[in-house]
Chain A
């Protein structure tokens, strides 16, 4: 087993899932979960090597010319993330197998989930920037499919498109950033880049690369002002939210920042940008979560807040901050995965996610109540859960932040107080208090739905109880790989009485206080939101997209006006002007015209052609003009025959005949000339036509006298019979030497014919 094989297996499984789901029925979830579990076993067995500080790499050639390889790079940080993705992913598959029973297209849904898992795993184990980008985009696309799963609902489609547009935009920026980052190194291999930050640091490309990469990371990790796609994405089914918004999709941006921290980090601009955006996102996410009533929306905004915290911590970059970031990442993944799954369970059992309509569920769902409350305890940062260790570290890090320490500390304090408040609300208001009326009698969810939450919450508890023995070794190597030179600080549940503990106590008190007076808090924050944030960010985004579409439509209709005659005129005018410029610059034109030895019969044909051309121009009837054009065509084919170009002549005759028939059939549908062109328009048309005609003439005459190199026709003449067994050179060129071109041409005419066919059929149907 290796990482490449594992990702390959996941991709294969995601392809097979839509076809096999119906036969496996309820067993599908657990059976599909075998693959990620195998991955966990592989990574756990690799763990001792990694913990010694070694890095596992694999590389497969992909586009070696551009130094783009499918290579993998697994260090302490990568393996921690891989375990999280596969571990939570396995439980999500089991959960989704049961959860999705009432919905259609379950197989496809499972396929998307597994595809997403493969893509996410790909990001965290990538050892090449371009490989990472490909997986990055794959997560955007698969999350689009997952968020838009209820595609019959317009809001799901909007949310999915919004997420895709924002993360897709970020993805493009990221690609630019990666290319710039790779330039000073001359390679995209992470192992080279991570080894030495100097080339990029001293390069002028550092700032543009940083900004582009941050755009990618911030859009993915829902940082302000791109945060709004995340709450919108809550229209997705709960397994999707639990997976994408706990440990994976949104963490990809944070992962990227942490991954590149050794190279890009620890500069002034990095500190400023990351701490600013991180702090704003953290506070704003917490603030908006206060007034939400939808369980999943609350969780979504707290996720935004948590992502802000992580960005802030990575940006701070001190020893404590990096420690706090890694621990908090783990903490958050564990409790948020649980909470999202439980939110789905509650909706399934009661039919609602609105916390104002929930209450008193403890009696009917005691196990669920305990599991969810434990996860909330972790979110609030209360011992003995791992969340407490995380929160202590955050306080420790922020109180030691090098710049604007008090502001950041205050922001962190506010955020954590809101988290305590929300924890109280989500447990007490949902499971205790007055029992609401439910459509059906709720009961504790099935084992498949509870397995994930129970295990994750137990992990949270275990890691919290034994931080030094379990959590510390798991994270120590991750910390070193994110920030070389920094070591893990000892993790303890009990730190003794100090400032941090005081802050923790104050946080708890404030949170409780907020809960106690929640009616007042909700009323006030609601009215503030109404006054200042009434216009949602997502609406602004939709308006911007609409405006852009409107603009492009207007601008396009200028160029693509839909009048065929003007298109033709544009093509002819541009082409003739360009060719005239070329003719002007080239050798002087030598027009050697010698009519002396021209046979008389050809003179007659030429006179006929000229007469026909004149009558086509001055005729007042379309039919006459058409017939005259036909005469021209036949005249030319006679000339071809005279110069023994039989093939051309036959083709010309066939085409002429068919063109006249075709044009006649079209004319039949057209009205008579309503009015003739004005003299100005006629002058213009005449000018364009003369330009084209004259350049063709000069070109043909010149071609006869110019000899640039050995003409290719002599090769064709020689090789035609000896290599392609055909004496008809024209045909051999068409079907053998240049067969691929011919294939392209016949594809084009086939598509054009289909286009004409469907256009006429459609317009006929409209008439009826």
Chain B
């Protein structure tokens, strides 16, 4: 039972990492480069506009 649990969590983590990397490598469509979030002032969030300016 523990073996299946560890295997299952490993599979999920692998899928998560793979999906993140694939998404990161997929180029943005034209005209979407300037999309930033201005919903709140939480600069800890990677989607905050402050991070876009730094880049």
B partners with A = no
